[in-house]
Amino acid sequence: MSGPTAGVAGAAGGGPVHRAIAAEVTRVRDRNPQRPPRVLDVGGGSGAWAVPLARLGCAVTVVDYSPNALAALHRRARDAGVHELVTPVQGDVDALAEVAPPGGADLVLGHGLLEVVDDAAAAVAALTTATAAGGAISVLVAGRYAAVLSRTLAGRLAEARAVLTDPDGRFGADDALRRRLDAGALRALLEASGALRVELLQGDGVLDGWTPGPVRDCGPAAAREVVELENLAAAATPLLDVAARLHALARRA
């Protein structure tokens, strides 16, 4: 892989989520070659996605409630030489319209967002409003059934049972997450209003999270093999619901 797509996909090992984001950036650039792709990263923190996207020439606005995270983002973008393309904004998804113009973004990221907000449906509505017609929303959420399996393997059976049976996939009052989703629930959440259509639903961390450490430590060849296996597994429907995270790319009509 070469060119712009390689920049995003290669930025974090060429995993399935990065490949999907890279393909969307290429799509936006092909449709509007006269301007940089406009990306809105909600809850983007210190710039794990924003900086690689800015390196590709995207104009990225990062909305996050944490001033410390935004300060780290500024330093990271400056060190990467892309600070002119990255705009940090302190804000929250609950008041996204106050800091992000409606329909202003070609691509909106909500990674690690829907599992922590009070109202997931309202958050999806806010992301949708910020997305241009024909634009896309990328969401990455914690998977319910991977949490069940990991707790079972760790011998935490009460927590595994709770995550499996709780309507929101939580293990109790001390759970830091407000919800975990399975593939059907994620699709339903995104498409409930009729404004979005899910084009891609795949796993992230389908098999790599279960790969034994000694295998990972066997050198670059083994690492590449893990990535290749993960890319294959991400699209395998029977494995989707055991992914540590679920990734969806939804298009605004």
Q: What string of pLDDT tens digits covers the 253 residues of the chain?
A: 334 444 454 443 468 999 999 999 999 999 999 999 999 999 999 999 999 999 999 999 999 999 999 999 999 999 999 999 999 999 999 999 999 999 999 999 999 999 999 999 999 999 999 999 999 999 999 999 999 999 999 999 999 999 999 999 999 999 999 999 999 999 999 999 999 999 999 999 888 777 777 877 788 888 888 888 888 888 888 888 899 999 999 999 8
The model's pLDDT over 197-224, given as tens digits with 9 standing for 90+, comes to: 999 999 998 887 777 778 777 888 888 8
**pTM score of the predicted model:** 0.90
| Fold topology of 4-143+181-206+243-252 | Rossmann fold (3.40.50)
Please choose, from the candidates 141, 123, 97, the residue with its C-alpha nearest in 3D space to the C-alpha of residue 196: 123
Among candidate residues 21, 1, 4, the one with its CA nearest the CA of residue 136: 21
Q: Are 240 and 203 in contact (CB under 8 A)?
A: yes
Query: What's at 61, amino acid-wise?
Result: T
Domain boundaries, the chain: 4-143+181-206+243-252
Beta bridge partners of 40: 61, 108
Percent composition of the chain: helix, strand, coil (DSSP 3-state, to 5): 45, 20, 30
Do residues 43 and 63 lie in contact, with contact meaning Cβ atoms separated by under 8 Å?
Answer: yes
Q: Exposure pattern of 235-248 as b/e (b: 16+ CB <10 Å)?
A: eeeeebbbbbbbbb
